[in-house]
Every structure is written in structure tokens, then in C-alpha cells.
Amino acid sequence: MTELCHLSLSEIRSGLHQGTFSAAELTEAFLKRIDNHRVLNAFIEVLADSARKEAQLCDTRLKRRERAPLLGVPLAIKDMILTAGTRTTCASRMLKDFVAPYDATVTQELKSAGAVCLGKTNMDEFAMGSSNENSAFGAVRNPWNLERVSGGSSGGSAAAVAQRLCAGALGTDTGGSVRQPAAFCGVVGIKPTYGRVSRYGVVAFASSLDQVGVLASNVRDAAILTGVISGYDPLDSTSVNQVVPNFEAHLGQEIKSLKIGIPDEYFIPGMSAEVEKIIKQALKKLEDLGAELVRVGLPHTNVAVPTYYILAPAEASSNLARYDGVRYGRRAADIKDLDELYFRSRSEGFGAEVKRRIIIGTYVLSRGYYDQFYLKAQKVRSLIARDFKCAFERHCDLIACPTAPSSAFRLGEKISDPLAMYLSDVFTIPANLAGLPALSIPCGFDSSDLPVGLQLIGKPWDESTLFKAAYAYESATEWHKRLPPEAGAGPTF
């Protein structure tokens, strides 16, 4: 039964179609594995009963020789994506009892494709964090070392995929929240182009930056899942009516004519020397496969983090204003007046990091500071996007760089230093500001036996080239085949 969990999504799909095993057997194997690895705290809620029922229905359809892209495949969903009739908490006390009245579009796409939902994964509260320590349900532990963070904010999804508690998972990425945990946990994570995937039914953090992405154990599985959830949605005003290519069809193509840009600005002081060495080895491998490495300049990279931490909190302060004890979320008891209702409901419902960002966002939008901070940040955002546009038009087909400046750090190491925590996303934030597709793929391990991720950033709507290059690299290396220790074997520290 355990061996079933170590099959890739594409292998699971083939096995189900051939009748090698049933969806019910597969689901039971994953549920047992989740139970055996509760120490990771990857799930906020395991939907065992509904998963078993869904699996039985899938087996009935399989016996009728029905076919669907994910029929019977067990997946997990980040707990800020609505699933009808199930709690969607955003890992916050504010929404701990909220039951979603409808499915998000991406949830519906998975259901239409035949997927079995195993549960809702843990995360940083309202997706605000880089370590998955800002959760009302406790931190997620890294499968490779239980004393390390899993990354954030989609740390539960990344840890679940890494430890093979599901065949794949959905996450969201506002400033690196799919790619950074993917790097820390040694899996593949992709943030598609902004507008490629519907945000309808996804609880908003920063609406101009949020994008649903996927985490998977290999590039092919990531391509399959991305294809399923992509497409125009009239219910989402930011969704773009672009043709969705067959991403899987681009796998296996040669990359000999590919020009890969290497930005000097992504190799900075303070970056782990081991990470830099591993990344440069990965770049050499891409060059050996026939790609041409060219130097490119992204001169506004150094202001991406401060720009992001003005714009994202500003949007968050607006989006989270609805959680006031009246319309949505936690309502304080024994209140005397309206002011106390607002104050206590929000004080009791939100965690420290969410409060910090609401305060920052309200400040930069306030009278007298809007032009000085928010408007200026929007202008700088345009410059960052222009840097990428010039690099792609003049020099390269995609850009390669580290996903994160270090491997997974220790639990508690940065939680009391917000600035140090924010710098964990220094290499992932620019792609969100520019709305570009970006992917993280495992490319090695440091001396602490912790995974390192290589980030590939593509042109708008060109996820296909990202998958092609990532698959070429993956096929020539073995990193994606390494597995973290079993929970019963004890931590690696």
C-alpha cells in the first residue's frame, strides 16, 4: 500500500486506467500515510469520509471505462481555496468555523477532472508568511528535517507532496508562496502567469499579486495539474481569455536553441555559498544540455522587496477590512458597543503578522502618505516589469536563478525578525510584481542534506517553455527521485 503513494501522478493515472489498483485502495493508502505522518502538521483538516466516497464513485466510473484527466487521483488543496461544504479557515482564528458555501473555480476544475480531495493543507495565516509558522493551527515541519521550516505560505501543500501524502496539491503564490516552499521541501512548484488561472473562490490577500499554483513531485505531474486548472473564467475579472496549450506535449523537446538569461542581481552578498555553488552547477547542466547562458540585467531587483511590502499590505488591508465581526469571521462575545465589537473581533481573530501587515497597509494608503509610498511603489513596479520585458525582448527566452537565498532555516530562527523573514522571498517576489510565470525545481542538496531549488522565470503566457526546460534538466538529473526520511525513522537533525 505504501508503494502506491510513491507513484507519480501520471503513473497513478495509468494504473487506475489499467485496473492495476482501485481508487479506493489508492485513497486508503494515502489516508493511512497521512495518519502516519501527522508530526508534519501538513493538513488542517483531513477529509477521510468524503475522500472514500469520492474514490468509490471514481471506481464506478473507471469500471464503465470513463476517462477524465485526474479520475481517481488523490490531491490536496490549500486551505484558502474554497471547497463547498468544508471548512476554509485560511489558518486563522478569524475563519476557524467558516464553511464554504460554494467551490472555487479551481476546486471545481479538479472535481470535474475526477480528482479525489484528501484534505485542506496548512498555511501561513491568510497566506502572509515565508515559513508556515504564522498558522493558528501550528507550524508545518519540513519532511527532510523536522526542526526546519517547510516554507510559506503554501508549506502544508509542499510538505504533503514531498512526503507523498498526496499525488499533488494546489497552493497560492503572492510573493513566492508556491515556489519557496517547493524549494525548501524538494518538489516542483509553479506559479502561472497572472490571469492564467481563475482566482474566483480563493480568499484574497493581495488581489493584483495572488495566483493559484501547483506543487508536484515532478515536472510532468506539475504540467498535468497546471493544464487542468488553467483557462478563462468569466467569474474572475482578472482572468484572461488566453488559449491554454497542452503543457505535457512540450515535455521531451530539446533545449539546444534556448537562451537562458542569468541575472547578476540574483547572486547577492548574504546568499548561502552552498546554494550559489549548487545553482551554478545546475546552470552548467543546462548549458551541457545545449542551452545558451547569457548575462542579463534586472537593475531594479534591489527594490523589489520594499515595493512588494508596500503594495501587498496595502491590498491586504483593503481585502481584510470585511472581517469585522459583523459581515464575516469571528465575532467577539459580551461586547458593549460597535467600537469594541470591531476592536476585539479583529484583535482576537487575527494573528501578529496579519495585524502587522494590516497596519502597514493602512498607513501607506492614508492621507498624506498615499503618494509618498503607494503611488511611488506602483511606479517602481512598472520599472521592475520593464526590466523583464527588455531582457526577454533583447536577450533571452527565460531567466534562471535561485529560488531562495538559503535552504530551509530552523523553526523559530526568523519569526521575531520580520525583515529577515521578508528577505526569504527576495528572489521570488519580482515575478509576482511583473505577473510572470515562474517555476522551482529541485537541483541539489546542501551539506545539511536540505534541498535547494532552481527558479526558472518565463515570458507572459509561456509556461510551456518553463516546463520544457525544467523537464530537460530533471531528465538529466536524479534530484527529484530522492525522498525524505519516513516519520518513523526519526528526524535528520
Question: How far is it, in rounded angstroms, from Cα 427 to Cα 403?
Answer: 6
Question: How far is it, in rounded angstroms, from Cα 159 to Cα 226?
Answer: 19
Question: How far is it, in rounded angstroms, from Cα 169 to Cα 182?
Answer: 11
Question: How far is it, in rounded angstroms, from Cα 181 to Cα 270?
Answer: 20
CATH number for 181? 3.90.1300.10
Above 60 in pLDDT, residue 488? no
Give the count of beta carbons closer than 10 Å to the beta carbon of residue 58: 26
Indicate whether 316 belongs to any domain. no
Instruction: Tell how strand 43-46 and strand 116-121 pair up.
Output: antiparallel
Q: What is the DSSP string of 42-88?
A: -EEEE-HHHHHHHHHHHHHHHHTT---TTTT-EEEEETTB--TTSB-
> CB of 432 within 8 A of CB of 190?
no
Candidates 210, 180, 194, 205; CA nearest to 91 is 205
> CB of 445 within 8 A of CB of 451?
yes
Provide the percentage of residues in the chain whose pLDDT is more than 70: 98
Grouping H, G, I as helix, E, B as strand and the rest as coil, residue 292 is: strand
Indicate whether 299 belongs to any domain. no
Indicate whether 275 belongs to any domain. no
What is the chain's alpha carbon radius of gyration, rounded to the nearest angstrom? Answer: 21
- pLDDT class for 484, splitting at 50, 70, 90? very high
Give the pLDDT confidence of 391-416 residue by residue, as tens digits. 999 999 999 999 999 999 999 999 99
Q: What pLDDT is attached to residue 490?
A: 42
Active site residue 440: no
Above 80 in pLDDT, residue 324? yes
Give the pLDDT confidence of 150-162 residue by residue, as tens digits. 999 999 999 999 9
Give the pLDDT confidence of 65-74 residue by residue, as tens digits. 999 999 999 9
Indicate whether 300 belongs to any domain. no
Above 90 in pLDDT, residue 364? yes
- pLDDT class for 269, splitting at 50, 70, 90? confident
**Which of 22, 157, 177, 230 is an active site residue?**
177
Indicate whether 58 belongs to any domain. yes
> CB of 217 within 8 A of CB of 156?
no
Active site residue 177: yes
Indicate whether 109 belongs to any domain. yes
Give the pLDDT confidence of 215-265 residue by residue, as tens digits. 999 999 999 999 999 999 999 999 999 999 999 999 999 999 899 999 999
- Provide the residue type at 146 as one letter: L
Range of the domain at 147: 2-261+395-483
E strands, 368-463, in order: 398-402, 438-445, 451-458
Q: CA-CA distances (angstroms) from residue 3 to 12, 21, 365, 487?
A: 11, 12, 53, 16
> CB of 453 within 8 A of CB of 428?
no
Provide the percentage of residues in the chain whose pLDDT is more than 90: 95
Above 90 in pLDDT, residue 125? yes
Question: How far is it, in rounded angstroms, from Cα 399 to Cα 148?
Answer: 29
Report the pLDDT averaged over residues 88-96: 97
Give the pLDDT confidence of 415-465 residue by residue, as tens digits. 999 999 999 999 999 999 999 999 999 999 999 999 999 999 999 999 999
- pLDDT class for 327, splitting at 50, 70, 90? confident
Q: How many CA atoms, within 13 angstroms, populate the side-chain half-sphere of residue 384?
A: 25
Tell how far CA 117 is from the center of its chain: 17
Q: What pLDDT is attached to residue 1?
A: 62
Indicate whether 322 belongs to any domain. no
In DSSP terms, 438 is beta-bridged to 191, 457
Report the pLDDT averaged over residues 356-383: 96
Above 90 in pLDDT, residue 328? no
| Biggest CA pair distance of the chain | 70
Angle at 431 between CA 128 and CA 443, to 5 degrees: 90
For residues 396, 400, 405, 406, the Cα torsion angle rounded to the nearest 10 degrees is -170
Q: How many CA atoms, within 13 angstroms, populate the side-chain half-sphere of residue 307?
A: 25
Active site residue 318: no
Average pLDDT of the chain, as a whole number: 96
Above 70 in pLDDT, residue 492? no
Angle at 419 between CA 271 and CA 406, to 5 degrees: 25
Show Cβ contacts of residue 353 under 8 Å, excluding neighbours closer than 6 positions. Answer: 124, 125, 128, 129, 134, 418
Report the pLDDT averaged over residues 346-362: 96
Candidates 165, 136, 145, 135; CA nearest to 154 is 135
Burial of 440 (0-12, 13-18, 19+ CB in 10 A): buried
In total, how many domains does the chain have? 1
Backbone angles phi, psi at 140, to 5 degrees: -90, 135
Question: How far is it, in rounded angstroms, from Cα 116 to Cα 118?
Answer: 6
**Which of 8, 78, 135, 317 is an active site residue?**
78
Please count the residues of the chain.
Answer: 493
Report the pLDDT averaged over residues 81-87: 97
Above 60 in pLDDT, residue 130? yes
**Which of 150, 153, 424, 464 is an active site residue?**
153
Question: How far is it, in rounded angstroms, from Cα 52 to Cα 60?
Answer: 13
Indicate whether 283 belongs to any domain. no
- pLDDT class for 491, splitting at 50, 70, 90? very low
